[in-house]
Amino acid sequence: MKTLKNVTCALLCTLILYACSDTNEVEPDADPIADEAVDENTDDEAPEEGAKTASLLVFTKTKGFRHGSIEKGVATLVELGENNDFTISETDDATDFNTENLEQYQGVVFLSTTGDVLTNGQQLAFERYIQNGGSFMGIHSATDTEYDWPWYGQLVGAYFNGHPSIQDASITVSNDKHPATAHLQNTWERKDEWYNFKDINPAILVLLNLDEDSYDGGTNGPNHPIAWYHDFDGGRSFYTAGGHTEASFEEPDFKQHLLGGINYCLGRE
Ligand SMILES: [Zn+2]
Protein backbone atom coordinates (compact mmCIF):
# COMPACT_ATOMS: atom_id res chain seq x y z
CA MET A 1 0.00 0.00 0.00
CA LYS A 2 2.82 2.32 0.95
CA THR A 3 4.56 1.53 -2.35
CA LEU A 4 1.35 2.30 -4.22
CA LYS A 5 1.07 5.62 -2.38
CA ASN A 6 4.64 6.46 -3.28
CA VAL A 7 4.04 5.59 -6.91
CA THR A 8 0.85 7.68 -6.94
CA CYS A 9 2.71 10.58 -5.32
CA ALA A 10 5.54 10.32 -7.81
CA LEU A 11 3.05 10.34 -10.67
CA LEU A 12 1.20 13.32 -9.23
CA CYS A 13 4.42 15.23 -8.65
CA THR A 14 5.48 14.53 -12.21
CA LEU A 15 2.12 15.76 -13.50
CA ILE A 16 2.26 18.89 -11.34
CA LEU A 17 5.82 19.65 -12.44
CA TYR A 18 4.82 19.12 -16.05
CA ALA A 19 1.83 21.43 -15.64
CA CYS A 20 3.97 24.09 -13.94
CA SER A 21 6.51 23.99 -16.71
CA ASP A 22 3.78 25.13 -19.11
CA THR A 23 2.27 27.93 -17.05
CA ASN A 24 4.10 30.62 -18.98
CA GLU A 25 3.22 29.29 -22.35
CA VAL A 26 0.42 31.45 -23.62
CA GLU A 27 0.17 30.30 -27.18
CA PRO A 28 0.64 26.75 -28.33
CA ASP A 29 2.06 28.02 -31.59
CA ALA A 30 4.21 30.75 -30.05
CA ASP A 31 7.68 31.15 -31.46
CA PRO A 32 9.81 28.21 -30.30
CA ILE A 33 12.70 30.55 -29.57
CA ALA A 34 10.48 32.64 -27.31
CA ASP A 35 9.26 29.48 -25.56
CA GLU A 36 12.82 28.44 -24.92
CA ALA A 37 13.47 31.77 -23.23
CA VAL A 38 10.42 31.27 -21.02
CA ASP A 39 11.40 27.71 -20.13
CA GLU A 40 14.75 28.88 -18.79
CA ASN A 41 12.87 30.65 -16.04
CA THR A 42 10.53 27.90 -14.90
CA ASP A 43 12.71 27.35 -11.83
CA ASP A 44 11.74 30.78 -10.52
CA GLU A 45 9.30 30.55 -7.68
CA ALA A 46 5.97 32.22 -8.30
CA PRO A 47 6.95 34.73 -10.99
CA GLU A 48 5.08 37.95 -10.40
CA GLU A 49 5.03 41.55 -11.50
CA GLY A 50 8.53 43.00 -11.38
CA ALA A 51 10.05 39.58 -11.95
CA LYS A 52 13.03 39.37 -14.26
CA THR A 53 11.26 38.14 -17.36
CA ALA A 54 8.37 40.20 -18.68
CA SER A 55 5.84 39.09 -21.26
CA LEU A 56 4.69 41.20 -24.19
CA LEU A 57 1.76 40.52 -26.48
CA VAL A 58 2.50 41.66 -30.03
CA PHE A 59 -0.69 42.26 -32.00
CA THR A 60 -0.39 42.17 -35.79
CA LYS A 61 -3.98 42.07 -37.06
CA THR A 62 -4.65 44.17 -40.17
CA LYS A 63 -7.98 45.12 -41.74
CA GLY A 64 -6.43 47.49 -44.25
CA PHE A 65 -2.92 47.53 -45.72
CA ARG A 66 -0.66 44.77 -44.43
CA HIS A 67 3.01 45.72 -44.19
CA GLY A 68 5.53 43.21 -45.48
CA SER A 69 7.79 44.21 -42.59
CA ILE A 70 5.53 42.76 -39.87
CA GLU A 71 7.27 39.38 -39.73
CA LYS A 72 10.68 41.01 -39.63
CA GLY A 73 9.42 43.29 -36.87
CA VAL A 74 8.20 40.36 -34.80
CA ALA A 75 11.51 38.51 -35.28
CA THR A 76 13.36 41.65 -34.18
CA LEU A 77 11.28 41.99 -31.01
CA VAL A 78 11.86 38.30 -30.24
CA GLU A 79 15.62 38.80 -30.66
CA LEU A 80 15.58 41.92 -28.45
CA GLY A 81 13.65 39.94 -25.83
CA GLU A 82 16.17 37.11 -25.81
CA ASN A 83 18.91 39.55 -24.86
CA ASN A 84 16.86 41.75 -22.54
CA ASP A 85 14.71 39.52 -20.36
CA PHE A 86 11.33 39.68 -22.00
CA THR A 87 9.35 37.25 -24.10
CA ILE A 88 7.12 37.92 -27.07
CA SER A 89 3.83 36.28 -27.95
CA GLU A 90 2.59 37.28 -31.38
CA THR A 91 -1.09 37.15 -32.26
CA ASP A 92 -3.39 38.40 -34.99
CA ASP A 93 -6.36 36.92 -33.13
CA ALA A 94 -8.44 39.74 -31.64
CA THR A 95 -10.20 37.33 -29.25
CA ASP A 96 -6.94 37.42 -27.26
CA PHE A 97 -8.17 40.84 -26.12
CA ASN A 98 -10.05 39.58 -23.10
CA THR A 99 -9.35 40.40 -19.46
CA GLU A 100 -8.05 36.98 -18.46
CA ASN A 101 -5.57 36.77 -21.30
CA LEU A 102 -4.38 40.38 -21.22
CA GLU A 103 -3.57 40.34 -17.51
CA GLN A 104 -0.69 37.93 -18.22
CA TYR A 105 1.19 40.66 -20.08
CA GLN A 106 3.26 43.61 -18.88
CA GLY A 107 2.91 45.25 -22.29
CA VAL A 108 0.87 45.08 -25.49
CA VAL A 109 2.48 46.11 -28.79
CA PHE A 110 0.40 47.08 -31.84
CA LEU A 111 2.89 46.28 -34.61
CA SER A 112 1.71 47.89 -37.87
CA THR A 113 -1.92 47.05 -37.24
CA THR A 114 -4.39 48.72 -39.63
CA GLY A 115 -8.10 49.48 -39.66
CA ASP A 116 -10.86 48.34 -37.32
CA VAL A 117 -9.26 45.37 -35.59
CA LEU A 118 -11.16 45.03 -32.29
CA THR A 119 -14.84 44.60 -31.44
CA ASN A 120 -16.46 46.84 -28.82
CA GLY A 121 -16.05 44.14 -26.16
CA GLN A 122 -12.38 43.63 -27.02
CA GLN A 123 -11.85 47.39 -26.89
CA LEU A 124 -13.38 47.51 -23.39
CA ALA A 125 -11.09 44.69 -22.21
CA PHE A 126 -8.08 46.63 -23.49
CA GLU A 127 -9.25 49.86 -21.83
CA ARG A 128 -9.54 47.98 -18.52
CA TYR A 129 -6.06 46.53 -19.06
CA ILE A 130 -4.52 50.00 -19.46
CA GLN A 131 -6.60 51.40 -16.57
CA ASN A 132 -5.17 48.63 -14.38
CA GLY A 133 -1.63 49.85 -15.08
CA GLY A 134 -0.91 48.07 -18.35
CA SER A 135 1.24 49.51 -21.09
CA PHE A 136 0.92 50.06 -24.82
CA MET A 137 3.50 50.42 -27.55
CA GLY A 138 2.51 51.39 -31.08
CA ILE A 139 4.77 50.91 -34.09
CA HIS A 140 4.24 52.56 -37.49
CA SER A 141 0.65 52.03 -38.69
CA ALA A 142 -0.63 51.58 -35.14
CA THR A 143 -1.78 55.17 -35.82
CA ASP A 144 -3.61 53.94 -38.97
CA THR A 145 -5.81 51.82 -36.73
CA GLU A 146 -9.19 52.16 -35.00
CA TYR A 147 -10.23 55.62 -36.21
CA ASP A 148 -13.68 55.20 -34.64
CA TRP A 149 -12.39 54.49 -31.13
CA PRO A 150 -11.55 57.89 -29.60
CA TRP A 151 -9.99 56.36 -26.48
CA TYR A 152 -7.50 54.53 -28.70
CA GLY A 153 -6.75 57.72 -30.62
CA GLN A 154 -5.85 59.41 -27.32
CA LEU A 155 -3.80 56.40 -26.21
CA VAL A 156 -1.74 56.03 -29.38
CA GLY A 157 -1.49 59.82 -29.50
CA ALA A 158 -2.45 60.75 -33.10
CA TYR A 159 -3.94 59.39 -36.29
CA PHE A 160 -2.18 58.79 -39.60
CA ASN A 161 -2.80 61.51 -42.19
CA GLY A 162 -1.00 60.35 -45.31
CA HIS A 163 2.64 59.96 -46.31
CA PRO A 164 4.99 60.81 -49.17
CA SER A 165 7.25 58.22 -50.80
CA ILE A 166 9.98 56.53 -48.77
CA GLN A 167 13.01 58.80 -48.46
CA ASP A 168 15.81 60.00 -46.21
CA ALA A 169 14.97 62.60 -43.59
CA SER A 170 16.51 64.32 -40.57
CA ILE A 171 15.01 63.82 -37.17
CA THR A 172 15.72 66.16 -34.27
CA VAL A 173 16.02 64.53 -30.87
CA SER A 174 13.70 66.57 -28.61
CA ASN A 175 14.40 64.58 -25.44
CA ASP A 176 17.69 62.74 -25.01
CA LYS A 177 16.96 61.52 -21.48
CA HIS A 178 14.43 58.86 -22.45
CA PRO A 179 15.55 55.23 -22.87
CA ALA A 180 14.27 55.30 -26.47
CA THR A 181 16.47 58.25 -27.47
CA ALA A 182 19.40 58.42 -25.03
CA HIS A 183 21.64 56.54 -27.50
CA LEU A 184 21.09 59.08 -30.33
CA GLN A 185 23.01 62.19 -31.38
CA ASN A 186 21.08 65.49 -31.65
CA THR A 187 20.13 64.70 -35.23
CA TRP A 188 19.19 61.27 -36.53
CA GLU A 189 19.32 60.69 -40.30
CA ARG A 190 17.41 57.69 -41.56
CA LYS A 191 15.23 56.43 -44.37
CA ASP A 192 11.62 55.41 -43.81
CA GLU A 193 8.04 56.18 -44.80
CA TRP A 194 7.34 59.45 -42.97
CA TYR A 195 3.82 59.79 -41.64
CA ASN A 196 1.88 63.01 -41.37
CA PHE A 197 -0.54 63.16 -38.44
CA LYS A 198 -3.92 64.55 -37.46
CA ASP A 199 -5.76 64.64 -34.11
CA ILE A 200 -2.50 64.84 -32.17
CA ASN A 201 -3.16 64.42 -28.45
CA PRO A 202 -1.70 67.60 -26.85
CA ALA A 203 -0.66 65.52 -23.83
CA ILE A 204 1.96 63.49 -25.69
CA LEU A 205 5.58 64.07 -24.70
CA VAL A 206 7.60 64.36 -27.88
CA LEU A 207 10.86 62.42 -28.18
CA LEU A 208 11.64 62.91 -31.88
CA ASN A 209 10.59 65.68 -34.23
CA LEU A 210 10.77 65.36 -38.01
CA ASP A 211 12.55 68.17 -39.88
CA GLU A 212 10.16 68.84 -42.79
CA ASP A 213 12.87 70.89 -44.56
CA SER A 214 14.93 67.71 -44.90
CA TYR A 215 12.47 65.81 -47.13
CA ASP A 216 9.46 66.29 -49.42
CA GLY A 217 5.85 65.84 -48.41
CA GLY A 218 5.58 66.85 -44.75
CA THR A 219 2.32 68.63 -43.82
CA ASN A 220 2.57 69.09 -40.05
CA GLY A 221 4.97 72.03 -40.10
CA PRO A 222 7.72 72.74 -37.58
CA ASN A 223 6.02 70.66 -34.92
CA HIS A 224 6.00 67.25 -36.51
CA PRO A 225 6.37 64.63 -33.77
CA ILE A 226 7.47 61.23 -35.02
CA ALA A 227 7.96 59.39 -31.71
CA TRP A 228 6.48 60.13 -28.29
CA TYR A 229 5.28 58.75 -24.96
CA HIS A 230 2.80 59.66 -22.25
CA ASP A 231 0.99 58.33 -19.22
CA PHE A 232 -2.57 57.67 -20.20
CA ASP A 233 -5.63 56.57 -18.21
CA GLY A 234 -3.63 54.67 -15.60
CA GLY A 235 -1.13 53.10 -17.97
CA ARG A 236 1.81 53.97 -20.21
CA SER A 237 1.95 54.61 -23.93
CA PHE A 238 4.88 54.80 -26.33
CA TYR A 239 4.66 55.28 -30.09
CA THR A 240 7.17 55.43 -32.90
CA ALA A 241 6.17 56.06 -36.50
CA GLY A 242 9.18 54.31 -38.01
CA GLY A 243 9.21 50.72 -39.18
CA HIS A 244 7.60 50.71 -42.62
CA THR A 245 10.54 48.93 -44.19
CA GLU A 246 12.14 45.62 -43.28
CA ALA A 247 15.48 47.45 -43.39
CA SER A 248 14.37 49.59 -40.41
CA PHE A 249 14.52 46.50 -38.22
CA GLU A 250 18.15 45.90 -39.23
CA GLU A 251 19.26 49.37 -38.05
CA PRO A 252 21.07 49.18 -34.68
CA ASP A 253 19.82 52.66 -33.69
CA PHE A 254 16.22 51.84 -34.59
CA LYS A 255 16.43 48.56 -32.68
CA GLN A 256 17.82 50.40 -29.64
CA HIS A 257 14.98 52.92 -30.04
CA LEU A 258 12.43 50.08 -29.94
CA LEU A 259 14.15 48.48 -26.95
CA GLY A 260 14.06 51.81 -25.12
CA GLY A 261 10.34 52.07 -25.83
CA ILE A 262 9.80 48.61 -24.42
CA ASN A 263 11.91 49.39 -21.35
CA TYR A 264 9.82 52.51 -20.76
CA CYS A 265 6.63 50.44 -21.09
CA LEU A 266 8.00 47.90 -18.61
CA GLY A 267 9.02 50.62 -16.14
CA ARG A 268 12.68 49.72 -16.56
CA GLU A 269 14.01 53.23 -17.11
ZN1 LIG B 1 3.93 52.03 -44.01
Q: Where are the domains of the chain?
A: 32-265
Per-residue pLDDT at 63 exceeds 60: yes
Q: How far is the CA of 215 from the centre of ligand 1 (A)?
A: 17
Q: How far is the CA of 142 from the centre of ligand 1 (A)?
A: 10
Q: Which residues surround ligand 1, an ion (CB under 5 A)?
A: 193, 244
Per-residue pLDDT at 59 exceeds 90: yes
Coil, strand, or helix at residue 51? coil
Q: How far is the CA of 245 from the centre of ligand 1 (A)?
A: 7
Q: How far is the CA of 136 from the centre of ligand 1 (A)?
A: 20
Q: What is the pLDDT of residue 264?
A: 98
Per-residue pLDDT at 259 exceeds 90: yes
Q: How far is the CA of 183 from the centre of ligand 1 (A)?
A: 25
Q: How far is the CA of 264 from the centre of ligand 1 (A)?
A: 24
> Where is average pLDDT lowest: 7-11, 98-102, 129-133?
7-11
Per-residue pLDDT at 40 exceeds 50: no
Mean pLDDT of 162-182: 98
Per-residue pLDDT at 234 exceeds 50: yes
Q: How far is the CA of 65 from the centre of ligand 1 (A)?
A: 8
Q: How far is the CA of 140 from the centre of ligand 1 (A)?
A: 7
Q: How far is the CA of 145 from the centre of ligand 1 (A)?
A: 12
Mean pLDDT of 54-59: 98
Q: How far is the CA of 66 from the centre of ligand 1 (A)?
A: 9
Q: What is the pLDDT of residue 269?
A: 79
Q: What string of H, E and C letters represents the secondary structure of 185-251?
A: CCEEEEEECCCCEECCCCCCEEEEEEEHHHCCCCCCCCCCEEEEEEEECCEEEEEECCCCCHHHHHC
Q: How far is the CA of 193 from the centre of ligand 1 (A)?
A: 6
Confidence of residue 52 (pLDDT cuts 50, 70, 90): low
Mean pLDDT of 242-262: 98
Q: How far is the CA of 8 from the centre of ligand 1 (A)?
A: 58
Q: What are phi and psi of 191, to 5 degrees?
A: -110, 130
Mean pLDDT of 55-75: 98
Q: What are phi and psi of 266, to 5 degrees?
A: -85, 0
Per-residue pLDDT at 136 exceeds 90: yes
pLDDT digit string (tens) for 78-119?
Answer: 999 999 999 999 999 999 999 999 999 999 999 999 999 999
Q: Which fold has domain 32-265?
A: Rossmann fold (3.40.50)
Q: What is the pLDDT of residue 104?
A: 96
Per-residue pLDDT at 76 exceeds 50: yes
Tell me the average pLDDT of the chain: 88
Q: What is the DSSP letter of 171?
A: E
Dist. CA 225–CA 160, nearest whole Å: 12
Q: How far is the CA of 67 from the centre of ligand 1 (A)?
A: 6
Which are the contacts of 114, defined by CB distance < 8 A and separation ≥ 6?
62, 63, 64, 65, 66, 141, 144, 145
Q: How far is the CA of 64 from the centre of ligand 1 (A)?
A: 11
Are the C-beta atoms of residues 59 and 109 closer than 8 Å to each other?
Answer: yes
Dist. CA 193–CA 95, nearest whole Å: 30
Q: How far is the CA of 241 from the centre of ligand 1 (A)?
A: 9
Q: How far is the CA of 113 from the centre of ligand 1 (A)?
A: 10
Q: Kind of pairing, strands 135-139 and 107-111?
A: parallel
> 171: buried, middle or exposed (CB in 10 Å: 19+, 13-18, 0-12)?
buried
Between 186 and 11, name the one with better pLDDT: 186
Q: How far is the CA of 69 from the centre of ligand 1 (A)?
A: 9
